[in-house]
Amino acid sequence: MEILIFMLIGVLIGRFCFPKKLKKLNEKMQVVMTMLLIFSMGVMLGRRENLIDELSSLGFKSLVFCLIPTILSTVIVYFLTERFSVKKYTITVLK
């Protein structure tokens, strides 16, 4: 939960307070911080004593948590694109 709060604070600071001339530096910092976050999550998982035993039970749940949002997002984007996209028609002129 704390991670989400800090991410939200970062988004708000980046949107309203961060100067545009430092955009490149901000992008590089985002990549570094994301790598640090993934590394720290790996360390937290690696410290668990029963990680190998838990992986077998988590495998199916992880697959379901991956597939359901992916499928629903794809379907929603498809229908929204069909509904709101501007269709361009080409007119061919016969000579």
The string of pLDDT tens digits covering residues 33-68 is 899 989 998 898 888 888 777 777 777 788 888 899
pLDDT recorded at residue 67: 93
- Model confidence at 73, pLDDT cuts 50, 70, 90, reads very high
pTM: 0.46
State the Cα–Cα distance between residues 18 and 23, nearest whole angstrom.
8
Among candidates 32, 26, 34, which has minimal Cα distance to 3? 34
79-94: burial string, b at 16+ Cβ within 10 Å, e else:
eeeeeeeeeeeeeeee
